[in-house]
């Protein structure tokens, strides 16, 4: 087995990521969770934030230890990419309803859900993978278990929010699954 | 003369800060500007952001060198403190008009302008000073030279935005002047 450390403190994310990384081609990979308390940079450059977070994680680990972090952003088209990586602070501070209400007077509700993965290989080189799903911000519908899933309706689905889909449906089109698909392929070829 | 380094890349801020720190009691202080490229943490804790920025600045300087940084936030009451320190990214990415429009459907336009100063003394100990001015977010009026000054109307003034006031008027009531007043007093007593 090949151990790869995933840094997160979010149990839901860990479960989703384990599911996304498991496939025939990566069956030899063992995702180990570490809940390191890493800082995140203020920036609108999502790749920069993820790379920086990965570099911080590496400082806590043995040299040669493979590790990855992921960061998820919700980028409103009308806001030119914001709240972006700051979305988690908005969810925590003001709640989903007010986030939807911020867009009330903007006809364009378009938004991109973006996952950025930064992975350090055993030589300490960092590789970045990004997945994007286009959708709309809508009044909250569905389970409230997973961040802002209940206010994001991907354009590719039949008017369901992420929170109204089964895990399998969501994983077919989600920003996170798209990023992890690239990551999984990379891991399979670069063993 | 006692040299104190102020880390900023913003010429307007530097000018305002030099004005705010000059008084009889601090006439021996020489503010020297350094435009270091410092990272800022994602956080809603403004003191934490400023302290971290000050610590970073210290790494670039000789031990014993006094240095300070300041960080300014615009905290919407309705948003429980956000955009907060992220306001600069909102100004840059979406512009002032859309920031005002975000609040269109919220009757409460209240906001706090907050400056947080973190100062490292010659022993490397960090001291924090904070100034707050309560006001309202209004459609942009006045000069556009200084960040979000044209959309912030302090409650203590006759319906003028910061951008419609003279520098002297603004310095009587501004969040920045309140923070620097505390800092100036501290410097005068702790020479």
Chain A to chain B Cβ contacts (< 8 Å): 74
- Out of B41, B52, B82, name the one closest to residue A93 (CB): B82
Lowest mean pLDDT among A168-172, B41-45, B86-90, B97-101: A168-172
Residue of B79, B95, B137 best to disrupt the A interface, most CBs of A under 10 A: B79
Rounded Cα distance between A34 and B85, Å, is 29
Contact state of B41 with A40 under an 8 Å Cβ cutoff? yes
Residue of A85, A93, A107 best to disrupt the B interface, most CBs of B under 10 A: A93
For A173, the enclosing helix (H) or strand (E) is: helix A167-173
pLDDT at B87 over 90: yes
Rounded Cα distance between B62 and A148, Å, is 46
* Closest residue in chain B to residue A95, using alpha carbons only: B79
pLDDT digits (tens, 9 = 90+) for A3-20: 999 999 888 889 888 888
* Closest residue in chain B to residue A53, using alpha carbons only: B41
Please tell me the distance in Å from B77's CA to the nearest CA on chain A: 10
Contact state of B90 with A79 under an 8 Å Cβ cutoff? yes
pLDDT band at B29 (very low <50, low <70, confident <90, very high): confident
Chain A environment of B89 (Cβ under 8 Å)? 42-44, 82, 84, 86
- Out of A43, A98, A104, name the one closest to residue B79 (CB): A98
Rounded Cα distance between B75 and B134, Å, is 10
Q: Which residues pair with B181 in a beta bridge?
A: none
Residue of B105, B106, B107 best to disrupt the A interface, most CBs of A under 10 A: B105
Residue B25's φ and ψ, nearest 5 degrees, are -70, -20
pLDDT digits (tens, 9 = 90+) for A31-62: 999 999 999 999 999 999 999 999 999 999 99
For B92, the enclosing helix (H) or strand (E) is: helix B87-102
State the pairing for strand pair B29-34/A83-84.
unpaired
Is this complex scored with an ipTM above 0.85? yes
pLDDT band at B146 (very low <50, low <70, confident <90, very high): confident
pLDDT at B80 over 90: yes
pLDDT band at A145 (very low <50, low <70, confident <90, very high): confident
* Sequential DSSP letters for A101-161: HHTTT-S--EEEEEEEEEEE-TTS-EEEEEEEEEEEE-S--S--SSTTGGGEEETTSSS--
Please tell me the distance in Å from A82's CA to the nearest CA on chain B: 7
Block residue for tokens 């960090």: B126
Chain A environment of B44 (Cβ under 8 Å)? 89, 92-93
User: pLDDT at position A10, please?
Assistant: 85
Q: Tell me what percent of the residues of chain B surpass a pLDDT of 70.
A: 97
Instruction: Tell the burial category of B123 from Cβ atoms under 10 Å away from its Cβ (0-12, 13-18, 19+).
Output: exposed
């Amino acid at each position: 087995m090949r151990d790869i450390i995933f840094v997160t403190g979010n149990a839901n994310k860990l479960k989703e990521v384990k599911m996304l990384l498991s496939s025939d081609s990566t069956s030899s990979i063992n995702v180990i969770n570490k809940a390191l308390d890493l800082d995140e940079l203020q920036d609108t450059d999502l790749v920069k934030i993820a790379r920086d977070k990965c570099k911080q994680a590496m400082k806590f680990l043995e040299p040669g230890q493979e590790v990855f972090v992921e960061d998820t952003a919700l980028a409103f088209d009308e806001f030119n990419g914001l709240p972006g990586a700051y979305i988690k602070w908005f969810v925590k501070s003001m709640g989903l309803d007010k986030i939807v209400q911020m867009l009330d007077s903007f006809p364009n509700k378009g938004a991109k859900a973006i996952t950025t993965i930064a992975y350090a290989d055993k030589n300490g080189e960092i590789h970045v993978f990004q997945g994007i799903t286009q959708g709309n911000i809508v009044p909250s519908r569905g389970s409230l278990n997973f961040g802002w899933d209940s206010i994001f309706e991907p354009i590719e689905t039949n008017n369901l929010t992420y929170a109204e889909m089964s895990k399998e449906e969501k994983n077919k089109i989600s920003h996170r699954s798209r990023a992890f698909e690239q990551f999984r392929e990379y891991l399979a070829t670069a063993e």
